[in-house]
Amino acid sequence: MLISGTQLIDMPVMSLQTGKELARTHLAIINPHNLTIVAYLVTGKTLDYDPSYLRIADVREIGNIGMIIDNSDEFITEDDIVTEKTTYEMEYDLNNKQVVDERKKKIGKVNDYTIDLDSFVIQQISVRRPLLQSFKDAELLIHRNQIVEVTDDLIIVKSAKNKKSAKVKHGRHYANLFQQPTPQAESIKIKN
């Protein structure tokens, strides 16, 4: 199932053991190398450490009441992080990142993204267009396959291909695909 990334921010983190809210998600920890969410920075009054993180691997389910985990032991601190420590420290945020094409033409800024809840892979980014271009397209959806490179400041996407007009050679006739052929009466030949 696909869901907007902003829907998972400020979401309650609920304990399966007690049924109570333990924390709220504050910031998605995104790995910019493969555009996946590895964890969430969480905030709350009952947390033992600040900052505390919730790994995606420890989320049992996401439902109407929020993210459901076993208990408060699932929260980790910076000292608990062994793998991907640089990803956590980076706190890479996609929102408001400048999006340009391969020719460095400005496309807009990221204002949201779409996540596949099964894998927490970012599938699309939603790009808010600059003022003059927003009259034509207020927002663009760019699929992850169109992303060429992700840097600290920019997201580079594939350039739109130049559309070349089809050349018509003189003297050739082509069938009109939109015109339906008129039915013809069948002729029957009888042999003597």
Q: Token digits for 17?
A: 């053991």
Domain edges within the chain: 2-90, 98-157
Average pLDDT estimate for 47-56: 92
The pLDDT tens digits of the residues spanning 61-70 come to 998 999 999 9
pLDDT for 183 beyond 60: no
Q: Token digits for 173?
A: 């006739």
CATH 3.90.50.10 applies to domain 2-90: yes
Distance CA 159, CA 157 (A): 6
- Looking at the whole model, is its pTM more than 0.85? no
Closest CA to 78 of 43, 45, 53: 53
Helix, strand, coil: what percent of the chain each, to 5? 15, 40, 50
Average pLDDT estimate for 11-20: 93
* Summary mean pLDDT of the chain: 83
User: What is residue 132's predicted lDDT score, i.e. its pLDDT?
Assistant: 59
Average pLDDT estimate for 116-133: 86
pLDDT for 17 beyond 70: yes
> CATH for 98-157?
2.30.30.240
Q: Residue 189, SS3?
A: coil
The percentage of the chain sitting over the pLDDT mark of 70, rounded to a whole number, equals: 79
Beta bridge partners of 157: 101, 147
Average pLDDT estimate for 99-114: 92
User: What is residue 133's predicted lDDT score, i.e. its pLDDT?
Assistant: 58
DSSP letters spanning 146-187? GEEEE-SSEEEEPPPPPPPPPP--TT-----TTSPPPP----
